Chains A and B, each alone.
Chain A
Amino acid sequence: MKQLFYLFVALSLFSCRTGDEQDLPIIVGDAKVLILNEGNFNFGNASLSLYNQNEKTVDASVFQSNNLGRPIGDVVQSAVQIGEELFVVVNNSSKIEVLNVASLTSIASIQQLNSPRYIAVASAKKAYVSDLYEDKLYVIDPSSKQLLKTIETKGWIEEMALANNKLYLTHVDSNQLWVLDSSADSILKKIDLHEQPQFIEIDTNQHAWIACGGGFNGGKSALYCIQTSNDSILSVFEGAAVEDKIGELEMNSSKDELHFLGKDGLYAMNIKEIALPSTAKIAKGDRLFYGFSIDPETDEIYISDAIDYQQKGVVYRYNYQGVELDAFKVGIIPGDIVFLK
């Protein structure tokens, strides 16, 4: 039975485990670039990374460090700052985590949502939350963190934008842009678009720009420009080929140049242009551009790279002309980047 003893000793050595380590809280200070790392769907490995743009340092998992080791959840989709609070939408955890911007500690959590995606802020007392599965739009009070009511949408809503006291909703299931009176919360109009409208931005002329991905059945992508004063279509730009995808949209700080992710990288297009750009402003090469944001103060462009979706991703920082300034590691599947005010 000596062999038994040695075997158990040998295997016990393999079974030694390290103790749980508790991270020290991160001081937010003048760092203002917060990266939302989606993590893998159903892996529960979403995280927030904090980048200090002055010192070029990064804290890869600031939420967990500043909230007693607790993970944020499954799929961080988007975030908006309202006053001194950051509302972080954790899609597959069915919640919105509300953080104190100065400390990035959780102060509240809005639960009982289904599969929330994006927030559009009408006022300090009213915000809309879109949802993937619920067939409804949530109306919440950001000050009290209460759910006020829901609005029937009969389908999947993605990004939203407010202009001229109206809320514009990208209705993916119907391939339409829905226009909602943001005072009465009633539907005013439904505008037919190309397949899979998902992203929307408002320019300096209060025109709404909508990107349609072309759907999942081989349709072409398209970019729409809508005049929000009368909700008419001003122009439609269709991708030349099925592969010419139009993904996430962002405006520069003066809101006169549109940027979007496409087949070969990041494209830029002045709002007065009459055709889609043919070459990328920032070519992706071997990189995998997954999401991006433009700093509203400096116009610096931050592009996230999910690499293989299974490791810590990278964010590249460029100046507005597209010259790379820095690159830093963040969490798994970095999606959106928000700039703390």
Chain B
Amino acid sequence: MKRVGTIVFFLMATTTWAQNTPSDTVKIKQVTVKSIPIKSNQERLDSAILSDPQHLNLGDLLSKKSHLFIKSYGIGSLATISLRGSGSGHTQLNWNGISLNSSMNGTTDLALFPLFFMDEVSLNYGLSSSIDGTGGIGGSVNISTVPQFKKQLNVVVSSNVGSFGQQQLQAKVKLGKENFQSITKLIHHQADNDFEYKDLTLEGFPTRKVKNASLLQKGVMQSFFLKFNKNQLLEANLWWFDSERNLPPLITLRENTEFQEDISIKSLVKYSKYFDNSTLKLTAAYLDDQLNYENQRAGIASKSETKSLRTRADYEFVLKKIKLHSQVKFENNRATADGLSEEVVQNRLELFFKAEKNITKQLNANASIRSLQVLQKQSYFLPQLRFDYQFRRSNLKLFALAGKNVSYPSLNDLYYQPSGNSRLEAEESESVEVGTAHEIELIKDKLVVHSSATLFYTNIENYIQWEPTAFGFWRPSNLEAVETRGAEFFIAIKQRQGKLKKQLTATYSYTSSKNYEKQHEFDRSSGKQLIYIPEHKGNVSLNVEYKASAINLNYQVLGIRHLSSDNEELLPRYSLLDVGFSQQFNRAGKHPITLSVGVKNVLNEEYQAIEWRPMPNRNYFIKMVYQFKT
């Protein structure tokens, strides 16, 4: 009981220490990171975390460093997001403010987003995602490229080699002066992913190797930033990424050869002008995503392509001490696929207006309204209200917000042949969130504690679910009213003693995501957790830096996930411990070199994130980064 009491105390303590979020968490190599003042229920992951060689892609990173649950089908395989108990299409992935979610299936595959292409990743949980648009019922993940305007020639070349034939080669060239910057990034990634696993489907549970799991990914990203003067910035980004993946079969299937190639070209132009009392930002992006799928066994070779023009204009200004934000978004989405009888076109228009005012010195209130109009279809109006309260003489903040969001059905949901359902209703949500954030400096310049806690509740009407029929095909329908509720806790303790820096970070989230509809007397799903949504997820990481050396430990625990809606079948909980060590050489010189080594899944846990899809046991990596800078 004493041990349980300690744990309860710990959990309670995290609710009273409060903080913004991890603005400058773990650092492997020396990177200057400024504290970034962002609101609670938001989180920002900086370049130091992004460059940690333990993370192969965005999905890998987010599963360890956030409250997100990443549903991964294996290393390098499909990885989708579930945030706050919602579905994979309920989290928006935004690139410099533009959604990258596929108009065809509404989701994103995080395995197609190399961290090397990003300078910053931030998360908006729940309603706070609606600042960038509709659809993020669970929240949003925001990725961006950030320039540093100075005269420089900075070349970084890195090579990461790991178990199962993992090889990543990356290069980055930053070139520019005070008013112009060019950033070029190249990536080449290949892996066999042929790790061993215990086959529980065969008598005697023999050890076998994963088959048909290799991948080859190549990408280029080019960004230009031009500062006309102090008040005007023009940026242009081009992103090309080609991913060829063999798809490993379930271990219950012996021989199955599936292959998927994703080719994406994303271009984005953004113009920002800062007036004395206002800001204007204009963004336009053209996204072209092609997916080629081959299934040798089924004799299938299918192609699909989506082309989207997505634009956005933001104008922020202050009027009589009221901060106002207006926004217009327009999207033109086109899709062609073997499963669509003809090219499908959808146009969406969103209007947004927000007013924010400091009612007192401590209390800030803001109200917003967003409208979504799917042209020639429906319209939705989504109000939101938020209060932030800052206590006097302390860094304790409280916040509360309530509002609506909507996720419109994807083009596949509506039009896929033979089973698309053009009568589908949009998924509409109503949410409430309350939380605290706290920062306290226990010893000046030496010991700082950040913490935060959030409680949330969301009701999603018209939840869309695909299901088979008795007549030989699958069909989406609006089935369930789903309620999600939960709590998120975060704490970071940072300590500095001379050249020794220590940081301990912990996150924990509890998520209840339940369906409350009952089809008939034998339906046992009512009031039960949705499948593949873990109730418990926790993470602890410790980073210790001394001079040019750093050691990092990350311990992640994922609770049970139910496999059936009656909650009678489940996948057991698992925990993963990763350990890394890095050493910098010549870090003050022009040619610094960083050498990192690490062990993932140190405890050699045998686990499945998805049933009958094995995950790798203990594995290793070594990474070398060479930098040339002027």
Contact = CB atoms under 8 A, between A and B. Distances in A.
B467 A309 contact: yes
B606 to A, nearest CB: 10
B37 to A, nearest CB: 25
Contacts of A288: 470, 519
Interface stretch (B3-11, B144-152, B186-194, B225-233): B3-11
Contact of B468 (A92, A245, A333): A333
Top 4 A-B pairs, shortest CB-CB distance: A216-B418, A311-B566, A15-B575, A44-B252
B540 A11 contact: yes
A135 B299 contact: yes
Nearest to A72: B252
Given A11-B538, A14-B557, A285 B520 contact: yes
Main secondary structure of the interface of A (DSSP, over half): loop
A185 B236 CA distance: 66
Given A9-B3, A14-B538, A93-B254, A43 B611 contact: yes
A170 to B, nearest CB: 12
Interface residues of A, number: 67
Q: Give the residue among B250, B564, B573, B612 with the most A Cβ atoms within 10 A.
A: B564
A327 interface: yes
A177 B542 CA distance: 68
B522 A305 contact: yes
B620 interface: no
B472 A198 contact: yes
Interface in A71-125: 71, 73-74, 92-95, 111, 114-115
Given A70-B201, A135-B299, A8 B540 contact: yes
Contacts, number: 161
B456 to A, nearest CB: 21
A256 to B, nearest CB: 25
Contacts of A142: none
B479 interface: yes
B589 interface: no
Contacts of B536: 14
Interface string B483-514: 00000000001000000000010100000000
Given A6-B6, A11-B555, A310-B564, A74 B297 contact: no
Nearest to B530: A310
B252 A73 contact: yes
Interface of A: 3-4, 6-18, 41-45, 67-71, 73-74, 92-95, 111, 114-115, 132-133, 135, 196, 198, 213, 215-217, 245, 247-248, 261, 285-291, 305-312, 314, 327, 329, 332-333
A306 B297 CA distance: 28
B441 interface: no
B364 interface: no
24 contacts: A3-B10, A4-B540, A6-B6, A7-B504, A7-B506, A7-B540, A9-B7, A15-B557, A17-B574, A42-B250, A43-B612, A70-B200, A74-B252, A94-B254, A94-B256, A115-B297, A135-B299, A305-B522, A307-B519, A307-B522, A308-B467, A310-B531, A310-B565, A311-B564
Given A290-B470, A308-B523, A12 B575 contact: yes
Given A44-B250, A74-B250, A307 B525 contact: yes
Contacts of A68: 203
B612 A44 contact: yes
B7 A245 contact: no
Given A286-B519, A305-B522, A94 B253 contact: yes
A49 to B, nearest CB: 13
A165 B246 CA distance: 45
A148 to B, nearest CB: 21
A31 B554 CA distance: 53
Nearest to B465: A308
Contacts of A43: 250, 563, 611-612
Contacts of A306: 468
Contacts of A216: 417-419, 473
B524 interface: yes
A198 B557 CA distance: 47
Nearest to A12: B575
Q: Give the residue among B6, B419, B470, B559 with the most A Cβ atoms within 10 A.
A: B470
Contact of A132 (B298, B538, B611): B298
B10 A111 contact: no
Contacts of B252: 44, 71, 73-74, 93
Interface string B538-582: 101010000000000001010100011110110011110000000
Q: Give the residue among A135, A287, A289 with the most B Cβ atoms within 10 A.
A: A287
B60 to A, nearest CB: 19
A286 B520 contact: yes
A316 B6 CA distance: 51
A311 B201 contact: no
A56 to B, nearest CB: 15
Given A8-B555, A17-B574, 4 more contacts: A14-B575, A307-B520, A310-B564, A312-B566
Contacts of B465: 308
Contacts of B3: 9
Contacts of B564: 45, 310-312, 332
B297 A94 contact: yes
Contact of B542 (A4, A18, A285): A4
B505 to A, nearest CB: 10
B468 A309 contact: yes
B319 interface: no
B251 interface: yes
Nearest to A214: B471
